[in-house]
């Protein structure tokens, strides 16, 4: 429990005003609860006529708490007797009953107010956790997501956050309210009989020990159950992404069997957690009843032996107060179970929140507004891990402003990795990448990436309108600007033929559009951003001939007056590049124009001949 609130401390600190309000109102609720119980004593005495003593009104003066309790008890009996003598027993019972109802009203109102104060805290904490996770996801480098499963990340953002929400909602009120009630009740019990209360406290550890044994392994069981559900989420995500292949290979039954296996494993793990959690109530109920029986025996022994410092009616009130402590203790045990489950989820979430971001800005990064001279790669080497094999070896490039250079080579030669280093999606292992002589690691990330536009092989669109997809990287873009960019990208005509024009929703990942349409919208997005540096990652390789012609025409318009780095699969699209670099196993093995490389009769000539067949 302590570990959970240590991890959540920064979130609770933002809402400390609500915690103070809840604490104060619960103190009032506990006090009103004690007063309402105290009204039961004169009611019992009137009903059963167990008290025949006469009382005199005492001054409300006391040198100690014990004296004040005695004065309050004496005067309470005095006013009860006065009411009986003047109004009669029936009327007195009615007055005391109304007083009990009023005190109960005050108690429940204070309790409700305390619970209501927790609502902004609870909902605010969950909102803050979700915002922090999403912000962290946006800030983490791409390498983090290549090592993690999407389904596992989705499970942490959804299921694990919901588990924390359930833990907070079921435990926060109990954690704040119940200790207050327990402290107030125990204080009253000590005031009534310290020896009986001390005996009772010796029995309480039995209750706590029984509950503790049940919940010992709840956290590890919850972690295992959550990991199994992550497997299920991952499979659902894979199924949605590969539904076409599943149907094409008639693999529905195979995928169904895989999901059933994961789902059954999750069900079994969740069942064990639920059984342990549900055991809390019956165990605490039994142990609590045993405690009441023991105290009843010991208190009765004190009364019958004449050594008790309280009357029989006081003992009944004592038992009522003692029984009232049991529920807060049970609630605390339930809160402990919920917190263990929440702690397991928090540990999984912390794998995202505490993940190290190795793409860091220097203390005072330099801001750059344009490309003035060149992009340089000086002896660049790169590997994805510190101890991993190098993907790029000693790359040297000098790209002048306004030039178009092309990177070609077989799959896995390092072309995409190379262009990912320029906007710092990854950092070089050794060497340096410079823009106008300034190492990109010394530049502001925002300023650096503002200089670069990307058109990738897979046109990534969002489930939004055509307008918002084109204007994605530009704030306050006008309709005229968006349309102008679409016209340059050869996209305006097909957009206007859509049902709602620029306000048409493109569907999930642009699924309502063809590949060529998606690519032209992504080109329009890059045109609207108007970056001085353009990176084209095989932008036409997945298109049919007609779409390729339209997209290639749009790309040529986009590349005008820009410094362009193009990764090419089809060599016909980069014949006019100022310089072509051939990569093989992470090294530049040839460089030159199209004609020069053909004349070399090397790797490039082989690639060209294979595509000519």
pLDDT tens digits for 385-407? 777 788 899 999 999 988 889 89
Cα separation of the two ends of the chain: 70
- Work out the percent of the chain whose per-residue pLDDT is above 90: 6
pLDDT of amino acid 545: 66
Question: What is the pTM (predicted TM-score) of this model?
Answer: 0.70
What is the C-alpha to C-alpha distance for residues 235 and 179, in angstroms, rounded to an integer? 44
DSSP single-letter state for residue 574: G
pLDDT at 217 over 60: no
pLDDT at 203 over 70: no
pLDDT of amino acid 214: 53
pLDDT of amino acid 4: 63
pLDDT at 72 over 70: no
Give whole-number Cα distances, 243 to 151, 153, 239, 505, 511, in Å: 16, 21, 5, 22, 13
Determine the 3-state secondary structure of 399 from DSSP: strand
What is the C-alpha to C-alpha distance for residues 427 and 437, in angstroms, rounded to an integer? 17
pLDDT of amino acid 211: 54
Q: Which residue's entry shows tokens 């108690």?
A: 107
Q: Are 315 and 307 contacting, i.e. CB atoms less than 8 angstroms apart?
A: no
What is the C-alpha to C-alpha distance for residues 310 and 313, in angstroms, rounded to an integer? 8
> Higher-confidence residue: 369 or 40?
369
> Higher-confidence residue: 431 or 345?
431
pLDDT at 506 over 80: yes
pLDDT of amino acid 524: 86
pLDDT tens digits for 409-425? 888 888 888 998 998 88
pLDDT of amino acid 434: 92
pLDDT-based confidence at 64, cuts 50/70/90? Answer: low
Q: Are 338 and 171 contacting, i.e. CB atoms less than 8 angstroms apart?
A: yes
pLDDT tens digits for 113-127? 888 888 888 888 888
pLDDT at 491 over 80: yes
> Higher-confidence residue: 601 or 613?
601
Contact residues for 472 (Cβ-Cβ < 8 A; gap 6+): 462, 525
Backbone phi, psi, residue 130, to 5°: -65, -40
Q: Which residue's entry shows tokens 């992009």?
A: 375
What is the C-alpha to C-alpha distance for residues 341 and 209, in angstroms, rounded to an integer? 19
DSSP single-letter state for residue 158: I
Domain spans of the chain?
2-353, 374-612
Three-state SS string over 99-146 comes to HHHHHHHHHHHHHHHHHHHHHHHHHHHHHHHHHHHHHHHHHCCHHHHH
pLDDT tens digits for 143-185? 777 777 777 788 788 778 887 877 777 677 677 777 787 788 7
Backbone phi, psi, residue 389, to 5°: -75, 140
What is the C-alpha to C-alpha distance for residues 536 and 559, in angstroms, rounded to an integer? 10
pLDDT tens digits for 231-258? 777 777 777 767 767 777 778 888 888 8
Q: Are 613 and 605 contacting, i.e. CB atoms less than 8 angstroms apart?
A: no
pLDDT at 556 over 90: no
What is the C-alpha to C-alpha distance for residues 560 and 539, in angstroms, rounded to an integer? 16
Q: Is 154 left (phi over 0), alpha (psi -120 to 50) or beta?
A: alpha
pLDDT at 28 over 70: yes
Question: Candidates 3.40.50.1820, 3.20.20.70, 1.20.1560.10, 3.40.50.720; correct CATH number of 2-353?
Answer: 1.20.1560.10
Q: In terms of C-beta density within 10 A (0-12 exposed, 13-18 middle, 19 or more buried), how is residue 544 classed?
A: exposed
Question: Candidates 3.40.50.300, 3.50.50.60, 3.30.2270.10, 3.55.40.20; correct CATH number of 374-612?
Answer: 3.40.50.300
What is the C-alpha to C-alpha distance for residues 64 and 14, in angstroms, rounded to an integer? 40
Q: Are 170 and 338 contacting, i.e. CB atoms less than 8 angstroms apart?
A: yes
Q: Six-digit token pair at 356?
A: 């190290």
Determine the 3-state secondary structure of 376 from DSSP: strand
pLDDT of amino acid 376: 93
pLDDT at 95 over 90: no
pLDDT tens digits for 265-274? 878 877 777 7
- Alpha carbon 290 to its chain centroid, in Å, reads 42
> Higher-confidence residue: 214 or 277?
277
pLDDT at 467 over 60: yes
- DSSP symbols for 208-239: HHHHHHHHTTHHHHHHHHHHHHHHHHHHHHHH
Q: Is 321 left (phi over 0), alpha (psi -120 to 50) or beta?
A: alpha
pLDDT-based confidence at 604, cuts 50/70/90? Answer: confident
Determine the 3-state secondary structure of 378 from DSSP: strand
What is the C-alpha to C-alpha distance for residues 525 and 486, in angstroms, rounded to an integer? 8
Q: Are 23 and 90 contacting, i.e. CB atoms less than 8 angstroms apart?
A: no
Q: In terms of C-beta density within 10 A (0-12 exposed, 13-18 middle, 19 or more buried), how is residue 560 classed?
A: exposed
- Work out the percent of the chain whose per-residue pLDDT is above 70: 81
């Amino acid at each position: 429990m302590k570990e959970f609130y240590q991890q959540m401390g920064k979130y609770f600190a933002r809402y400390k005003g609500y915690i103070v309000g809840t604490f104060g109102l619960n103190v009032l609720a506990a006090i009103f609860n004690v007063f309402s119980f105290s009204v039961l004593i004169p009611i019992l005495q009137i009903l059963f006529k167990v008290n025949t003593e006469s009382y005199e009104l005492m001054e409300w003066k006391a040198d100690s708490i014990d004296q004040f309790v005695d004065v309050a008890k004496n005067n309470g009996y005095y006013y009860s007797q006065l009411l009986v003598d003047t109004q009669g027993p029936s009327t007195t019972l009615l007055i005391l009953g109304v007083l009990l109802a009023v005190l109960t009203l005050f108690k429940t109102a204070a309790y409700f107010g305390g619970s209501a104060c927790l609502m902004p805290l609870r909902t605010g904490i969950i909102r803050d956790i979700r915002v922090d996770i999403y912000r962290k996801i946006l800030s983490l480098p791409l390498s983090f997501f290549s090592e993690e499963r999407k389904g596992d990340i989705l499970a942490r953002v959804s299921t694990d956050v919901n588990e924390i929400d359930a833990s907070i909602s079921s435990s926060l009120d109990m954690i704040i309210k119940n200790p207050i009630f327990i402290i107030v009740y125990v204080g009253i019990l000590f005031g009534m009989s310290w020896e009986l209360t001390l005996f009772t406290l010796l029995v309480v550890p039995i209750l706590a020990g029984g509950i503790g044994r049940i919940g010992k392994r709840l956290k590890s069981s919850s972690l295992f159950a959550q990991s199994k559900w992550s497997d299920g989420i991952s499979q659902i995500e894979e199924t949605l992404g590969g539904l076409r292949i599943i149907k094409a290979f008639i693999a529905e039954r195979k995928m169904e069997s895989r999901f059933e296996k994961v789902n059954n494993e999750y069900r079994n793990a969740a069942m064990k957690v639920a059984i342990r959690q549900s055991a809390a109530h019956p165990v605490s109920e039994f142990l609590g009843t045993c405690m009441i029986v023991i105290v009843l025996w010991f208190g009765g022994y004190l009364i019958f032996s004449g050594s008790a410092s309280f009357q029989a009616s006081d003992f009944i009130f004592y038992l009522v107060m003692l029984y009232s402590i049991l529920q807060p203790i049970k609630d605390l045990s339930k809160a402990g179970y919920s917190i263990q489950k929440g702690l397991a989820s928090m540990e999984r979430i912390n794998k995202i929140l505490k993940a190290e971001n190795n793409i860091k800005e220097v203390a005072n990064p330099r801001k750059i507004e344009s490309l003035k001279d060149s992009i340089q790669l000086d002896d660049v080497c790169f590997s994805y891990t510190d101890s991993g094999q190098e993907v790029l070896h000693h790359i040297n490039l000098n790209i002048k402003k306004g030039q178009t250079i092309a990177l070609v080579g077989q799959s896995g030669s390092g072309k995409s990795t190379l262009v990912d280093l320029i906007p710092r999606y990854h950092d070089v292992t050794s060497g340096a990448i410079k823009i106008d002589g300034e190492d990109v690691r010394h530049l502001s990330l925002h300023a650096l990436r503002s200089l670069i536009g990307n058109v990738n092989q897979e046109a990534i669109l969002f489930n939004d309108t055509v307008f918002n997809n084109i204007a994605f990287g530009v704030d306050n873009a006008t309709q005229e600007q968006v349309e102008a960019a679409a016209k340059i990208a050869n996209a305006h005509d097909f957009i206007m033929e859509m049902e709602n024009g620029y306000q048409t929703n493109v569907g999930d990942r642009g699924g309502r559009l063809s590949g060529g349409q998606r690519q032209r919208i992504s080109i329009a997005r890059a045109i609207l951003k108007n970056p001085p540096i353009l990176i084209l990652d095989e932008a036409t390789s997945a298109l049919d001939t007609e779409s390729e012609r339209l997209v290639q025409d749009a790309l040529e318009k986009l590349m005008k007056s820009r410094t362009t780095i193009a990764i090419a699969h089809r060599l016909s699209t980069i014949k006019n590049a100022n310089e072509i670099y051939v990569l093989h196993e992470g090294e530049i093995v040839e460089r030159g124009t199209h004609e020069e490389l053909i004349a070399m009769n090397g790797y490039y000539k082989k690639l060209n001949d294979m595509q000519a067949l």
